[in-house]
Amino acid sequence: MSVAEIIFVRGATEGINLVANSLCRSSYFNEGDEIIISHMEHHSNIVPWQLLCNRKKLHLKVVPVNNKGEFIFEEYEKLISEKTKLVSIVHISNALGTINPVKKIVDKAHEYNIPVLLDGAQAVPHTKVDVQKLDCDFYVFSGHKVFGPTGIGVLYGKTEFLDKMEPFQGGGDMISEVTFEKTTYDDLPQKFEAGTPNIVGGIALGAAIDYLTSFDMKEISEHEEKLLKYGTEKLLEIEGLKIIGTSEHKASVISFVIDGIHPYDIGTIIDTDGIAIRTGHHCTMPLIKRFNLSATARASFSMYNKIEEIDHLYNALLKVKKMFS
Ligand SMILES: Cc1ncc(COP(=O)(O)O)c(C=O)c1O
């Protein structure tokens, strides 16, 4: 891998939009072509492809998830056809925590010479990611998910694709020579980094990655697995609480609902106990609807969380239950 393959963007969303728009400009897609995503995508891995489909008359195919919130691999295999031009899948689901079998997904697509984009926004802080081992063609993540600032992120792309892709944006810093008749572009990665870069963001992201990588990612994963196991057992002790997303392979995210209590109420009440969880559709409306819900409450654990904090969450949830009983 070379630095030419690392493009600084505003975040995962911009990385995906860059790939969608650049491939589109490079006449990579033809009318009737298909793009495969899954039912558990973040909106940022749905809407850019929809925009593209509308513009180029392409079709979006969606791999379903089962009741545990797992990617159904057999259905994915069935959706691949000679019309498939790209597969774009989330590495770890932000809404359910499901860890997708991304290596298998990539290998299957490559059997048909189809490139694969992986949305790693949720994977990078939880697990060691090796894009070369995964052999994915594109990988995106956001700085703020790895304790860095907002407004900076990375798109990794294989040179063989980036070389052929037209720039997404034009301007200063991305050119080799400009005349009124014709512009030639700078080498990678500058070709895709038009305008004055987010210098502060880049430096801060570097510091955040140095911080994260000063820990053993395996130890972080193991610690988070313990939190997930304990948290799952503890929360299931609460009567009427149901966990949404029970994949065999799961990151430290617990999405849940409690009978008769709106997730917004849960979030607001436990906030007063100093516990910050996320409530709502988590930018995955189709996925939440798949479970006949409009919202869930989601507790996510990170490297700095402690077992005692899960007890604190448990006690706060009991208080919520009492208020609504
Ligand atoms: C799985 C996933 N993909 C994409 C995104 C979008 O990231 P950003 O808004 O930083 O571009 C997020 C953010 O929550 C996410 O969790």
Q: What is the CATH number of the domain that holds 92?
A: 3.40.640.10
**Same domain, yes or no: 153 and 297:** no
Give pLDDT, residue 1.
74
Domain count across the chain: 2
Q: What is the CATH number of the domain that holds 319?
A: 3.90.1150.10
**Same domain, yes or no: 223 and 260:** yes
Q: How far is the CA of 306 from the centre of ligand 1 (A)?
A: 25
Kindly give the confidence (pLDDT) of every residue in the chain, 325 residues in length, as a single tens digit, with 9 standing for 90 and above: 789 999 999 999 999 999 999 999 888 999 999 999 999 999 999 999 999 999 999 999 999 999 999 999 999 999 999 999 999 999 999 999 999 999 999 999 999 999 999 999 999 999 999 999 999 999 999 999 999 999 999 999 999 999 999 999 999 999 999 999 999 999 999 999 999 999 999 999 999 999 999 999 999 999 999 999 999 999 999 999 999 999 999 999 999 999 999 999 999 999 999 999 999 999 999 999 999 999 999 999 999 999 999 999 999 999 999 999 8
Q: How many CB atoms lie within 10 A of CB 211?
A: 12
The residues annotated with a catalytic role in the active site are: 283
Give pLDDT, residue 26.
86
Contact 117, 85 (CB under 8 A): no
**Same domain, yes or no: 156 and 27:** yes
3 state SS for 50-75: HHHHHHHCCEEEEECECCCCCECHHH
- β-pairing verdict for 175-178 and 183-185: antiparallel
Nearest CA to ligand 1 atom 2: 121
Ligand 1 atom with least separation from CA of 92: 1
**Same domain, yes or no: 209 and 226:** no
* Segments forming the whole domain that contains residue 297: 217-324
Contact 264, 275 (CB under 8 A): no
Q: Which among 213, 234, 266 is the end of a domain?
A: 213
**Same domain, yes or no: 67 and 128:** yes
